[in-house]
Amino acid sequence: MTEERQQTITRPATVSGAGLHTGETVTLRLLPAPPNTGVVFVRSDLPHRPTIPASPAHAVETGMGRRTILAKDGVEVQTVEHLLASLWGLGVDNVYAEISGLEVPGLDGSAALFVTALKAAGVTAQAAPRKFFSPREPIVLEEGDSAIAVFPDRALKVSYTLSYDHPLLKAQFASFSLTNGASFEERIAPARTFCLQEEAQALRAKGFGRGATYENTLVLGDGGVIQNTLRFEDEFVRHKILDLLGDLYLLGAHLRAHVMAIKSGHPLNVRLLHKLAQAMEQWKLGSIQSGTQEVMVGPRLDITQIEKILPHRYPFLLVDRVIELTETKAVGLKCVTINDYFFRGHFPGHPVMPGVLMIEAMAQVGGILILNKPENKGRLAYFMSVAQVKFRKPVVPGDQLVIEAHLGKLRSRTGQIMAKASVEGKVVCEGELMFVLADE
């Protein structure tokens, strides 16, 4: 399977309009961003232009329930879900979203106009692998008569059951396998937000829904949709899936799972988001959870399989997992934790991973690459020399080393490896390694 790359927009894109709840007219300007930036909101209307990353850590659990809110240091941006769903649908991983007010424009109440703006801006691939996440175990949340569950899967699938005390909303069910942007653009993006007529009146009384109109919100009265017509027979449940996709994109990685929801809204979605983020963090610390970044190329090795190739054992085995292994390349992971033995004596008051152990970790991944070849089965690869070594930044507890080893010259008795180690996409160490091959 070809490695998927991160993407950003090619040119800036601008949309303007009133927020569905505040009613304030704002301008949203989307700008290209470097790899591994994610989605970052910038409040251009405030002094010093404060930023709010679109991440689980900044998603607010609120009882308001009608929109998703991000907050940082007392600064908020509201109703981000339709924009985020559009970015997911168009495959945009990295973007700056400059906004001149509190709330993202509501536009026509769907994601369709965001999709139009993004398509006009264009999408550009970047030199960094796309991040994926799939939980190893089911995650289930319930609240009253609402529930949401996530089950491991090879791709994203969303199934949603909707039920309201209204003739048009007694029961609606929809399920989509979301493997490409075209499916989202045609089947989900045009679905508009909705509410019951009595809900609209209650929201207005509380000061919400000031920008909502019969054009951008499907309002259901006793006789049906007021002053509007449906784009889909099941537009209501499709919009719920749209909201859910936007909320899930706050995870910062493309989810590979089957998400099943019953009457869930933004508060329960955000609670699920926090659970998923915890699962990702546990894996980074060396738990059984799946990784935030999976390169689905070639075989993958767990610690038991690694020990069948390398002679190293704890505490000198410095590779936890191999996530890619081809004829010429290996990618291994080392989760650095405060429990690693070397922190007891190496700057114990200011724990930093020894540089020589970073080189050793790179050598072990290189050794796996060399010894995995059929002609080298049963041999040993002794680390002979190192050249062109550069240490670029310290590695501390909580970091995850992503170690890439590329095969250079390989002869019957010697092997050359070009290796680098990175943390969050930034190189921390690199060098050329030489090995001598010997029979056991």
> Apex CA 66: angle with CA 177 and CA 182, to 5°?
25
Residues 275, 360, single domain; the answer is no
* pLDDT at res. 194: 84
Residues 308, 270, single domain; the answer is no
Q: Does a structural domain hold residue 292? A: no
Contacts of 213 (CB under 8 A, 6+ apart): none
Say which residue, 175 or 2, is predicted with more confidence.
Answer: 175
* Residue 2: band (very low, low, confident or very high) from pLDDT cuts 50, 70, 90: low
- What CATH number is attached to the domain comprising 324? 3.10.129.10
Is 266 part of the annotated catalytic residue set? yes
Number of structural domains (the chain) is: 2
Which residue type does 86 have? S
Catalytic residue among 166, 312, 346, 406: 346
pTM for the whole structure: 0.64
Q: Which of 284, 311, 343 is the last residue of a domain?
A: 284
Residues 235, 370, single domain; the answer is no
Residues 24, 145, single domain; the answer is yes
- What CATH number is attached to the domain comprising 272? 3.30.230.20
pLDDT tens figures, 206-232: 666 666 778 778 888 877 888 888 999
The kind and range of the H/E element at 281 are helix 266-284
Neighbours of 254 (CB within 10 A): 20
354: preceding bond cis by omega (within 30 degrees): no
Is 254 part of the annotated catalytic residue set? no
- Yes or no: say if 433 and 419 are a contact pair by the CB < 8 Å rule: yes
Q: Which of 284, 318, 347 is the last residue of a domain?
A: 284
Catalytic residue among 166, 266, 312, 406: 266
* pLDDT at res. 285: 46
Extract long-range pairs of 72-79: CB within 8 Å, 24+ residues apart.
75/43, 75/46, 75/50, 76/52, 76/102, 77/41, 77/43, 77/52, 77/102, 77/103, 77/104, 78/19, 78/21, 78/22, 78/102, 78/103, 78/104, 79/19, 79/20, 79/21, 79/103, 79/104, 79/106
Q: Which of 216, 250, 284 is the last residue of a domain?
A: 284
Answer whether residue 123 shows pLDDT above 70.
Answer: yes
Q: Which structural domain, as residue segments, surrounds residue 122?
A: 5-284
Q: Does a structural domain hold residue 145? A: yes
pLDDT tens figures, 265-304: 888 999 999 989 887 776 554 432 223 333 333 457 878 8
Q: Does a structural domain hold residue 380? A: yes
Residues 347, 412, single domain; the answer is yes
Distance CA 184, CA 242 (A): 9
* pLDDT at res. 206: 63
